[in-house]
Chain A
Amino acid sequence: MNIFESTAAWFTAEGTWAGAGGIIQRTTEHLGYSALVIILAALIAFPLGLLVGHTGKGENLVVALTGALRALPTLGLLTLFALWLGLGLTAPIAALVILAISPLLAGVYAGIAAVDPITVDAARAQGMTEWQILSRVEIPLALPLIFGGIRNAALQVIATVTIVAYINLGGLGRFLIDGLAVRDYSRMVGAVLLVAALALLVDLLLAGLQRLTTPAGTS
């Protein structure tokens, strides 16, 4: 039996999908961790990106920060945080939030900064407050780039959430790490296919959402 046949056999075996530790449970966990990570990262990245993009202050800092965060190895961070905080959700989520901040921040900051200064000045001349300028002019015009950042972050996070199975958590990474531990390669290939399919599906959904929310003429 070659690897494709044995992977197909794994997918169709009894107990692979339903029940404790099945694909359905693992996929739900995977999406849960991913959503938690992206929401927490957005809570940090969005205000910071809007502030820097709108005021133009601290641009160098943001560029340096996003570059530096990208370079941090997430598995290394997970181990470091877990040695400090122990097992549980906090350590891996913190490591993944650091991964997700970078694309979100870059998208928001670049989107706001790219809005034509003439448009912003025109809004200001009409008597809009700074908050109104940001919320009614800059954010709608920046949406394509902001969405780009969100889609980028979602893709990276869904692929990387697999590493939470390095310690005692679930998600689709469980199949990868457990499969490797007992040299069960068909289980690993199955997990890879599931993660890839999930990432593509979520990206497709976000692309649809982007079409619905972006003002005409901006993308």
Chain B
Amino acid sequence: MNISLNTTSLNRRRFLGVLGVGASVSALTACGISGETAFGTGAQGGPIIVGSADFPESQIIAEIYAAALNQRGISAETRPAIGAREAYIGALQEGSVGVVPDYSGNLLLYFDAQSTAVTAEEIIAALPQALGETLAALKPSTAENKDSMVITSQTAEEFGLRSLDDLSEHNRQLVLGAPPEFAERGYGLPGLEKNYGFTPQSFEPINDGGGPLTVKALLDDQVQIVDLFSTDPAIIANDLVVLEDPKNNFLPQQVLPVINGELVSYAAAQVLDEVSAVLTTEDLIALNTRVSGEEKANPATAAQDWVAENL
């Protein structure tokens, strides 16, 4: 719905590409010469290149996009761990990759720091204009990876907490642990105070970005509320409760594919839409657990298993 391109001519080019250039690319690759060195950007006629940011979850999603495209007969390969958003959006704009997975809220703020969109719908509606001519955001999935306030199931039961709205009745009773910037950022203590009228008993800075120290402090009851990413495997592993955020204090961060419209055919976009229609936050937690947990599965393997099961 968000792509506006002349798909017929692209389809034909892609079709020819698959027959002709694509074949010679794979022949050259077999001889040890990669497609992109032989043909400049390579993506023009060869397989769709799916890039990713330099953290495991982004690589997993990129592998899912590539595996889904391949399963539907559209040749795709991945270019993992390109870097931070500046790097992979740059690669997308210059055409060295055709697709990257991204998160809706942060993607919008990257292009429009002044944006006032707060709900998931407003963000998706604001994206086409912010992204400009070359880039387009495809349909978002329900999968989300964002800052979220997490408590233990015991705390949830004891204080009757399900949503951030319930916190105001327990002002100054609960200790909050989060990275130091949480004390000053708009979504942090100031946001909780403004949107939900909640002030913790104290704020304990823990500088490991929602890592094992934060989880241990929560499980030891040294703090009662922590800031974790919503796709953190620790949430399911420890039966933790994510407090609902009805007032969107934390900007929604839906996973969606961002494409360079000149490099991705309509058929390919439809396959990516298919992925987004079924990808959930729980799926991401399970995939993260396989890749970053004890199994240490290869992102590509975990992604292929997911595609085989879900598409």
Contacts and interface: CB of A to CB of B under 8 A. Distances in A.
Interface in A163-202: 165-168, 174, 177-178, 181-182
A86 interface: yes
Interface string A86-122: 1110000000000000000000000000000000000
Contacts of A177: 180, 205, 207
Nearest to B175: A168
B184 interface: yes
Nearest to B183: A178
B212 interface: yes
A87 B204 contact: yes
Contacts, number: 50
A168 B216 contact: no
A168 B183 contact: no
Contacts of A87: 177, 204, 206, 213, 217, 220, 222-223
B189 to A, nearest CB: 13
A206 interface: no
Given A178-B180, A178-B183, A182-B185, A166 B216 contact: no
A43 interface: no
Q: What size tier do the contact residues of chain B reach? A: 10 to 19
A165 B185 contact: no
Contacts of A82: 213, 216
A166 B207 contact: yes
Interface in B179-221: 179-181, 183-185, 204-208, 212-213, 216-217, 220
Q: What size tier do the contact residues of chain A reach? A: 10 to 19
Nearest to A168: B204
A16 to B, nearest CB: 15
Contacts of A167: 205-207, 213
Contacts of B183: 178
Nearest to B202: A168
Contacts of A182: 180-181, 184-185
B208 A79 contact: yes
B272 to A, nearest CB: 34
Given A88-B222, A181-B181, A182-B184, A83 B205 contact: no
B223 to A, nearest CB: 8
A218 B177 CA distance: 53
Nearest to A78: B213
A86 B207 contact: no
A168 B206 contact: yes
B213 A181 contact: no
Contacts of B213: 79, 82-83, 87, 167
B206 A178 contact: no
Contact of B205 (A79, A86, A88, A165): A165
Nearest to A184: B184
Contacts of B205: 165, 167-168, 174, 177-178
Interface in A52-87: 79, 82-83, 86-87
13 contacts: A83-B212, A86-B217, A86-B222, A87-B217, A87-B220, A165-B207, A167-B213, A168-B177, A168-B204, A168-B205, A168-B206, A177-B207, A178-B184
The 7 A-B pairs with the shortest beta carbon distances in the complex, nearest first, are: A168-B204, A181-B181, A181-B180, A178-B180, A166-B207, A86-B220, A87-B222
Interface of B: 177, 179-181, 183-185, 204-208, 212-213, 216-217, 220, 222-223
Given A82-B216, A165-B180, A177-B205, 20 more contacts: A79-B213, A86-B220, A87-B177, A87-B206, A87-B217, A87-B220, A165-B207, A166-B207, A167-B205, A167-B206, A167-B207, A168-B177, A168-B204, A168-B206, A177-B180, A178-B181, A178-B183, A181-B181, A182-B180, A182-B181
